[in-house]
Structure 1
Amino acid sequence: MSNFKILTTGAMALAIMAGSALAGGSTGTSALDDPAKMSPFFTDAGMKTMKSEAEFKAAWMAMKEEDRAGMMKECGDEAIAKSHDNFCKMTKQLGGAN
């Protein structure tokens, strides 16, 4: 009977975690990892080479204000900023310019 109780408890914990992720909980992914959002800032499909400062600024200004604000917020996260160092430096350089 105790094995059944352990399995039931484990299944419930898994269901709760999966439910919170589906309900909008943190999934560990960032908008900065979304190729559709990030491709305007890079010259290559692998998103390794950033466009010139002028092209970057044009792409940045073409975005909706709330999208820019969301990306700036993500760049405020130390782990995300570290993995997107050049992009976050450029957004900070632009000051999140509106």
Structure 2
Amino acid sequence: MNSKMLVLGASLALMTGSAFAGSSTGTSALDDPAKMSPFFTDAGMKTMKSEADAKAAWTAMSADDRAAIMKECADEAVAKSHADFCKMAMQMGK
């Protein structure tokens, strides 16, 4: 009986740990400072860099990151809360 409980406990711990690991990065790539800070002049990510600097940052991103951003900006709610950035991303992502 104890071995069954141990296996069950270990299984639950692994499933819970993986669920927490997946959610620890936040809900949006647009809220990830590591990905987004190259596009902004300030730490609060309120003021966008120049068009040339933004284009350079966009080009430096991986194709997967650019695709994730385009997908998120296609969502109306996300695009509304990140309006300036999403407008720029949609122009560069064409």
Q: Same fold by TM-score, threshold 0.5 exceeded?
A: yes
Fraction of identical pairs, as percent: 75
Aligned residue number for residue 59 of structure 2:
61
- Structure 1 runs of 4+ off > 4 angstroms? none
Q: CA RMSD in A?
A: 2.3
Unaligned 5+ runs, structure 2: 1-15
Q: TM-score, length-normalised on structure 1?
A: 0.70
Give 1:69 shift.
0.4
Measured against aligned partners, the alpha-carbon deviations of 1:22-67 in whole angstroms (never above 9, x if no partner) come to 4857x97211011111000000001010000000000000000111
Aligned twin of 1:35: 33
2:45 to 44, 47, 69: 47
Report 1:1-98 matches (<5 A): 22=20, 24=22, 29-94=27-92, 96=93
Question: Structure 1 79/28 Cα, relative in aligned 2: closer, same or farther at 3 Å?
Answer: farther
Q: TM-score, normalised by structure 2?
A: 0.72
Q: Which SS does the other structure have where 1:50 is aligned?
A: coil
